[in-house]
Amino acid sequence: MTENAEIELTGTIDLHVHTSPDVKARKMDDLELARMAANQGMRAILLKSHCTLTADRAYLVQKVVPNIKVFGGLALNLAVGGINPFAVEAALQMGAVEIWMPTISAASEIEGGLAIFSDGHISDNVFSVLKLIAESDAILGTGHLSSAEISTLVPAARDLGVRKILITHPEHPPVNMPPGLQEELRDRYAVLFERCLITTPFGGGHLPFGSLAQVIRRVGPETTIISTDFGQPQNPSPLEGLTYFIAHLHKHGFSYNEINRMSRENPAHILGLS
């Protein structure tokens, strides 16, 4: 089972897709992707925007395409007021399932960008956001924070009762989290890692797929969720990307059960579907 044409997407979930409407051009809109994914038997998708809430859009798409679960969230970038507890509270009340720390507005991305620290300590706004996430049992996505920031954020989140922590594309710049640190966070805080195809040359990244496969093997399929992070016009569709991802995991020796864990069971569990 190594050729793309033989890959079955039934029951799979992609927790990281970019669609229009957006400030950047996207390959397809919410409805187009949901219909394509439903036609392939996928179980769920999670719409992501760097600039706006997607939970409201997900609600409407779900009404039009009822045979797939469609979820949304909020990334805490400058467009929504940064690390803004008021925006988070509203997003969660509207059904957001994931709150991402800053992505394109992160200090690791731009000079003078958003950091989780104030005077050397985690800021009050970050603590407020973590409490809201814990109360709603939502997913904390680490966004584009640096590895050092993530290492401080994760224990603070756990202390405040956040149960679902997903390290966003740990191999992708600017995160670049060493496997040893991933193992430490895995063992001490039971986090999950979202490995994204965009990190590899197939999505325009620079990490060879074989290197990504090695990290997955080292840190473990048990704590891995595979996503595409696709939707850019120059990349294949998210469905083509997920098909490629699964096919090449097979080629690198991952079993059907391991891939099922990463593409179906783990994302379903963190979404509360299992």
**How many CB atoms neighbour CB 85 within 10 A?**
18
Is pLDDT of 4 > 80?
no
- Report the pLDDT averaged over residues 24-38: 98
Instruction: Give the predicted TM-score (pTM) of the model.
Output: 0.97
Mean pLDDT of 206-233: 98
**Which residue segment(s) compose the domain that 18 sits in?**
4-271
What CATH number should be reported for the domain holding residue 173? 3.20.20.140
Q: What pLDDT score was predicted for residue 1? A: 36
pLDDT of residue 184: 98
For the chain, what percentages of helix, strand and coil (3-state, to nearest 5) are there?
45, 15, 40
Task: Determine the average pLDDT of the residues in 58-86.
Answer: 98
pLDDT over 50 (residue 7): yes
Q: Is the dihedral of CA 214, 222, 246, 252 positive or negative?
A: positive
What ranges in 99-146 are assigned the alpha helix state H?
124-136
Mean pLDDT of 180-184: 98
Cα dihedral 74/75/76/77 (nearest 10): -130
Split at pLDDT 50, 70, 90, the class of 274 is confident
pLDDT at 52 over 90: yes
- In the chain, pLDDT over 70 holds for what percent of residues? 98
Which phi and psi (to 5°) does residue 11 adopt? 85, -5
pLDDT computed for residue 263 by the predictor: 98
Is pLDDT at 11 greater than 50 in this prediction?
yes
pLDDT recorded at residue 6: 81
Show the tokens assigned to 82.
Answer: 């940064």
The average pLDDT across 115-132 equals: 96
Burial label, 23 (beta-carbon count in 10 A; 0-12, 13-18, 19+): exposed
Q: Give the count of domains, the chain.
A: 1
